Every structure is written in structure tokens, then in C-alpha cells.
Amino acid sequence: MKLWGKTRLDNNTLDNQTVTVQAKSAYEVTDWSEPFSRLCHKMNLSRPVILKKHVRDLEQFGHAVFFPADFLEPVDFDRFEVELY
């Protein structure tokens, strides 16, 4: 499975990257910190705060959205979208 991250500003994609997750489904992932850390490092971002809502969205819909308020450091985009495929 892969984790695909996209930063967006005014509905335009600024950057997108993927990382491989060693699981066949989102339900098999016990700790999302490691894949998100790798993805954010690849995109030169600080890691967002991952809430239960984000994990639930990934498990149920294969998609989660993070907003600037989910980051501890200032960011220059409107949202950070993460999809599983």
C-alpha cells in the first residue's frame, strides 16, 4: 500500500509525494507516525498532529485532510491531503 500526500493552495497542487507502507490495508497499520514522518520528511514539512478522526478517515475512506491548524509550525498551504492506494 502507498501513502500519497499532496499540499494544496487555492485548489492547486503545490507538491505531492508517495511513500510505501508495509501493510495491505489501513486497518493493519498500528502506528501512523512512522509513515507520516517519512512522507512529511520527503515533502520537507513538519508532521501534523494525527487525531483519531484522521485515522478513522484513512481506515473508512482511504483519505484524510489536514489543515494549517493541525500543524505546530506555520505552513504555506491551505490543506495537506493524504490518500491510500
The pLDDT assigned to 15 comes to 96
Mean pLDDT, the chain, integer: 95
Confidence of residue 25 (pLDDT cuts 50, 70, 90): confident
Cβ distance 35 to 21 under 8 Å?
yes
3-state secondary structure of 60: helix
Confidence of residue 59 (pLDDT cuts 50, 70, 90): very high
**What is the distance between the alpha carbons of residues 18 and 40, in angstroms, rounded to a whole number?**
10
Ordered by start, the domain boundaries in the chain are 2-84
* Average pLDDT of the residues in 41-66: 95
Whether the per-residue pLDDT at 10 is higher than 90: the answer is: yes
**What is the distance between the alpha carbons of residues 35 and 68, in angstroms, rounded to a whole number?**
20
* Average pLDDT of the residues in 19-31: 90
The pLDDT assigned to 81 comes to 98
**Which of 11, 32, 8, 13 minimizes the C-alpha distance to 21?**
32
Instruction: Identify the burial level of 53 via C-beta atoms within 10 angstroms of its C-beta, where 0-12 means exposed, 13-18 middle and 19 or more buried.
Output: exposed
* Average pLDDT of the residues in 11-25: 94
